[in-house]
Structures are given as structure tokens and as C-alpha cells.
A and B are shown apart, each in its own frame.
Chain A
């Protein structure tokens, strides 16, 4: 039996306005989702061209969840997005050309070629770079919230994890500490129903991951992760609750991972009808339809936005391709920080 609250979809434009988004914001959300998907579609092409070393991961199907949560964050908030959360980087303002440079291991990627794929973050934009060991960044997000609480700042940390990673001990330690200390943190579960090839019923025995929140002393909410407006509304509520001293929330965004775990995986183990059902619930198409019905999105505007995204990404690809590969002489640079490195916005 479900314990978590199951969130309703968002209906009218009025309801959206009450949640804090005007029409311009809505178009920015739509554009952010298009950029997110566009980056990953072009990433596939780069991979096939042999320009991406190693493997390649995407978050197709998770665009609404990522962009929706990131839109609900304030600029002073911080987060630890994962490999399905490209939309968070895009929404926080990471330039697409730097993401392509990162994919290709170039020296202008956020990690300067030291790490690959979505293992990146621009700390100036309040993001912390993920590691492969999931959900190792969850207790780090709790630590960010702890700093905010100690300094009595009205800031919130958002920590992402997947339903697969919910099985690990770090999830428990992070949520328990956050619950005990009522820290300003929002846990976002990207539940895309498949942890590589492992289905949800082999990862957890409750109906929802969010059902666990009750046991940690805070609220759990399940939302349709394909509904960007519902994700935004629930994330906003959770973030503002945390900011106001109300403690953590566990927000579970239910989606389907529309591609394999990584580019090498054809996801043969996912039932075909499951893909078909969720394809009909595509987050971008769904939001586009909503905008046409509720926010007077015209053909002209749609074309203008699409053309702008296409231009942005083409230019980004070109600029990234001009970025040099890292010089092997930089191999041993930066293992240890120097005192000057502490001269960052966070450390000041």
C-alpha cells in the first residue's frame, strides 16, 4: 500500500501562475527540454562518428523531471545532478558547447578531459559533479544543507538518486541524517524503472521509493515525471518548505528510461509495450500540446523556438569541435588543491 502522496497533474494556466511560472518561464522550460534532448541526440551522432571516447549515457524520457526540478530551484540553491539529469545543467546555464567538449574529452569541457560524459558540473552555477558510485553524492548534498543550516542561510540543496541507488546504504544514511537534523534538502528520485537491466521489484519492496520518507520523518511525494508542470509544482513546494525550515522531502519522479543503460545496451529486457505506453507519454510532446491548449503556443512560435535551439546546438558542436584535446603534460595537474583554489564563490 502506498504511503507517499501521489501528486495530481497540473491543469490550467492559472494554476501554473499560482505555482510561480509566467508564460515566458513556460517557454523557457519548453526550450530547456528541447535543448536537453537535442544535446543527447547530437551526442548519439558524435558517438557513432567515433568522437566520444568511452561510453555514452542519456536521460531520454527524464527531460521533464530534470528541467522541472531545476526550474524550481533558486540561484542560491545547489544540487548534485546525475547522468539522466542533463536538463539540470541546461537549466542552470551550462553552455551546450562545453557539454559537447566534455563528451569528447576536450580541454574546454568542465573537467578539462579529466572525467567523461555527464561526470561534470559548474560549481559557479551551484552544481557538484557526480561520481559513478550511486548515490554517493546524496550525503554530500546533505552536507551542503548542513552548511546552510549552520550558517542559518535560506538556501536549499537538491540531491538526485535513482531507484536502483535507493538500495544502497548511502541513501539511508543521507536521509536519516537529514531527517534527524531537519536539514534544508530535497531528495529527488529519478525512478526510470530500470537500473541497468534490473526492474524495480528487485530493487525495493515498497510500492514507491517515496514511501520510505515516512520512516525518516518527512514527506514523500510521487509525481508523474513526464509532467513537467506537476514536477515543477511539487519541487517548488518541497524546496520552499525546506527553505522555510520545514525539513526534507523525498520527491519521486516516475518515468521510463527510453534508451538502454548506455549506448551499448539495446534494452532488450524492457517489454515492448512498456516502451510504447511511455512513448505516448513523451514529456516534450506532452508539454508542447499543453502549451498549445493552455498558453496559446502558435505554429510560428514553435518554429522559432525549434530553429533557435537547432542554431544554438549547431554552433555549440562547431565550437566544441574546435576545442583542443588536453595536453598530456596536464596529466598530473590539480591532484591537490592550492590555497588559491579556495577563492571560489562558495568558499569566500
Chain B
């Protein structure tokens, strides 16, 4: 098995699907000649031609709604937002049209929207957001947030196969930072099945995306102090693996929910409420949430560092829980 970056894994998965299924095409801003702002589709236009790797005008609504129309006509479109932040311009396309079409009109909309998301490199308020929670609130959309190269490929293949609109949040900070073995052959990673990133007995950390790795670093620091941490990587928020969360909490009796998105209305609140409703009697400490504060994502490095949950913040939170 070859080692691949997170970005290469996404690129490989997409290329493989385009080779095996002529219905799959890519559309987005600068995805063709330029290969995408982050080079995920580098070389795609040479291989698949300009009508399967489509350079779109700067029109997020037309891109996502165009995918919706094409999908209803039997294609399997994969749209790229240059940055996840720009999905706000296609809110109606996703929320009003694509998400509700199956329920009210019986028409499936099998589209994938790739969303380079997350901060950590001074992208500022408009190139750093993690808007997954906003969309998790909308019935009819599936939400995917891979944390590893292997999952990045497997979840993308599943997303393309899925008969629903899927928002695929790829964390920009993981693109080239993360390298791991990724199978060459085609495989799917199921939605709604959490992955135990690290096994442990004292505290459960429930998280997804880049925060899986922040939690892992914190766990490594705390291991020396004899604190055993279980990290659950949800992989997908819609559907989310409630069973795995409840099982982990039943084992450790202490839960910390961690996300890079802002606090109020963040998906962590949903997980916390579910634990309170269904595992209250198994808890030995009040549940903790560590998230970004309720502010836009700031630009300047010290401000951004204070915004994104850091290893030391997570370690402190876990330690408090362990000592409770």
C-alpha cells in the first residue's frame, strides 16, 4: 500500500470514480486548466476533457443548482466550492431545492459538493469556516467530514454513490500535513459508522475532521500521566453514529465533545443533548464542550490561535474531566 496525503487520497478517489462511471463529472471555479485552487483536480481536464471537468463562471448558485438539474437527469455531479465559506452563495440551491426535492417531489438528487474548510493558516473570516453544523440542521442533506487519508477516499466514493445531496467537508489544514497508507483499489467507507481513532478507558473525546488530530496530540501528552483517552472520530454528522457514542460513554463515563466550528448551535450541542437524554445515569462528570468561540474566524495568527481549539486547551479539558 502506498502512502498518500489526504489531498492525494481525495484526488485519487475522484479520479477512480470518473474512470469507472461516465456519469461522474466535476464542475467548479478553476477546476479545469488550473486544477483547482488546491490542485485536487490537477490533470483531470487533460484526462477527461472540458465537458467532464468544467470551469464554471463565478456562480455558486448556478454550479450547485446546475449539478442538481444534471443529477435529476441521471448524472453524478461533483461540485467544488473553492472554499467552503462560499457555499453561503448556494444556500438556496442546497437547502431550498436539493434537500427537499426527494421528500416533496419524490426526485432523488445525487450530488456531491466538495467543501475545502477549516482554519489554521490565516485565511481570515471568509476562507476558514467550518459551516457543517448549519447544514446538519437541514433535513435531506448528508454531511461528511473525513479525518484521515484512507477515510477521505472511502467516504468520497460513498458520497458519489449515495442517492442524496452530500456535503463533503475536506479540511484544508489536513491536505498536505497528513500522510498515511491508502489502498489503491476502490473501496467505500460507510456513512454513519464512527471510527475509534484511539482506544481508552477514562475519558471519551467525540470529534471529527482536523480536531481528531488535535485530540490525539492531547491524548499523547496525557498518557504519560496515566490518563487513558478514547477518541471517537464520527466521520459523518448526518447520519451520525449515536450508538458508538453511547457505547463509548458507557465505557468511560466521561465525555468531551470537541469541534472547530463555533459554539452556539454547533453540532456538539446535539451530541451533548443526546448523551444527556440517553446516558445521563452513566455519566460520572458533567459533559464538556470545547469549541471555537462565537466569533467570526479572525485573521491575525495570535487571534486565530486563540479561536481554534489548541492541543493544550483540549488537554486541560480532558484533565479536568479525568480528575472530576
Which of A's residues lie within 8 Å of B, judged by CB?
A: 78, 110-112, 114-115, 119-121, 123, 128-129, 131-133, 136-151, 157, 169-170, 173-174, 176-177, 180-181, 334-339, 341-342, 344, 346-348
Do A147 and B57 form a contact, CB below 8 Å, given A123-B105, A334-B102?
no
Question: Quick one: which of A142, A147, A151, A180 has the most chain B CB within 10 A?
Answer: A147
- A sample of 29 cross-chain residue pairs with beta-carbon separation below 8 angstroms, ordered by A number, consists of A110-B106, A111-B104, A120-B105, A128-B69, A128-B107, A133-B96, A136-B96, A139-B59, A139-B65, A139-B66, A139-B93, A140-B69, A140-B72, A140-B97, A141-B69, A143-B67, A143-B68, A143-B71, A143-B77, A146-B69, A147-B70, A150-B75, A173-B62, A177-B56, A335-B140, A336-B140, A336-B163, A339-B161, A341-B102
A338 to B108: give the CA distance in the assembly, Å.
8
Do A148 and B105 form a contact, CB below 8 Å, given A136-B92, A143-B65, A337-B164?
no
- Asked whether, in the complex, the Cβ of A145 is within 8 Å of the Cβ of B92, the reply is no
Give chain A residues whose Cβ lies under 8 Å from the Cβ of B73: 78, 143-144, 147-148, 346
Question: Quick one: which of A115, A145, A342 has the most chain B CB within 10 A?
Answer: A342
Tell me the chain B residues, 81-134 only, with Cβ under 8 Å from chain A.
92-93, 96-97, 100-110
Give chain A residues whose Cβ lies under 8 Å from the Cβ of B100: 131
- Asked whether, in the complex, the Cβ of B57 is within 8 Å of the Cβ of A177, the reply is yes
Give chain B residues whose Cβ lies under 8 Å from the Cβ of A337: 102, 108-110, 163-164
B109 to chain A, nearest CB (A): 8
- Asked whether, in the complex, the Cβ of B105 is within 8 Å of the Cβ of A147, the reply is no
Do A338 and B163 form a contact, CB below 8 Å, given A78-B73, A139-B62?
yes
Do A147 and B74 form a contact, CB below 8 Å, given A136-B96, A142-B65, A335-B140?
yes
- Asked whether, in the complex, the Cβ of B107 is within 8 Å of the Cβ of A123, the reply is yes
- Asked whether, in the complex, the Cβ of B59 is within 8 Å of the Cβ of A177, the reply is yes
- Asked whether, in the complex, the Cβ of B106 is within 8 Å of the Cβ of A139, the reply is no
For the complex, count residues of B whose C-beta is within 8 A of A.
42
CB-contact partner of A144 in B25, B69, B102, under 8 A: B69
Proximity bits, B10-54, A CB within 8 Å = 1, else 0: 000000000000000100000000000000000000000001101
Do A150 and B25 form a contact, CB below 8 Å, given A131-B100, A144-B70, A177-B57?
yes
Give chain A residues whose Cβ lies under 8 Å from the Cβ of B163: 336-339, 341-342
A-B pairs, top 5 by smallest CB distance, nearest first, are: A143-B69, A337-B108, A139-B65, A143-B66, A147-B73
Select from chain B the residue with minimum beta-carbon distance to A128: B72
Question: Quick one: which of A111, A170, A177, A334 has the most chain B CB within 10 A?
Answer: A177
- Asked whether, in the complex, the Cβ of B65 is within 8 Å of the Cβ of A334, the reply is no
- Asked whether, in the complex, the Cβ of A123 is within 8 Å of the Cβ of B66, the reply is no
Any chain A CB within 8 A of the CB of B269?
no
Do A342 and B108 form a contact, CB below 8 Å, given A335-B103, A336-B140?
yes
A176 to B72: give the CA distance in the assembly, Å.
21
Give chain B residues whose Cβ lies under 8 Å from the Cβ of A142: 62, 65-66, 69
B272 to chain A, nearest CB (A): 24
CB-contact partner of B72 in A123, A174, A335, under 8 A: A123
A132 to chain B, nearest CB (A): 8
Give chain A residues whose Cβ lies under 8 Å from the Cβ of B96: 131-133, 136
Give chain A residues whose Cβ lies under 8 Å from the Cβ of B109: 337
- Asked whether, in the complex, the Cβ of A335 is within 8 Å of the Cβ of B139, the reply is yes
| Additional A-B contacts beyond A119-B105, A337-B108 (12; CB < 8 A) | A115-B104, A132-B96, A133-B92, A143-B70, A144-B73, A146-B69, A146-B70, A173-B57, A338-B163, A341-B163, A346-B73, A348-B74
Give chain A residues whose Cβ lies under 8 Å from the Cβ of B77: 143
A177 to B27: give the CA distance in the assembly, Å.
12
A346 to B101: give the CA distance in the assembly, Å.
15
A136 to B100: give the CA distance in the assembly, Å.
13
A85 to chain B, nearest CB (A): 16
Give chain B residues whose Cβ lies under 8 Å from the Cβ of A112: 106
A337 to B99: give the CA distance in the assembly, Å.
10
Give chain B residues whose Cβ lies under 8 Å from the Cβ of A151: 75
CB-contact partner of A347 in B52, B69, B74, under 8 A: B74
Give chain B residues whose Cβ lies under 8 Å from the Cβ of A119: 104-105
Question: Quick one: which of B56, B61, B77, B102 has the most chain A CB within 10 A?
Answer: B61
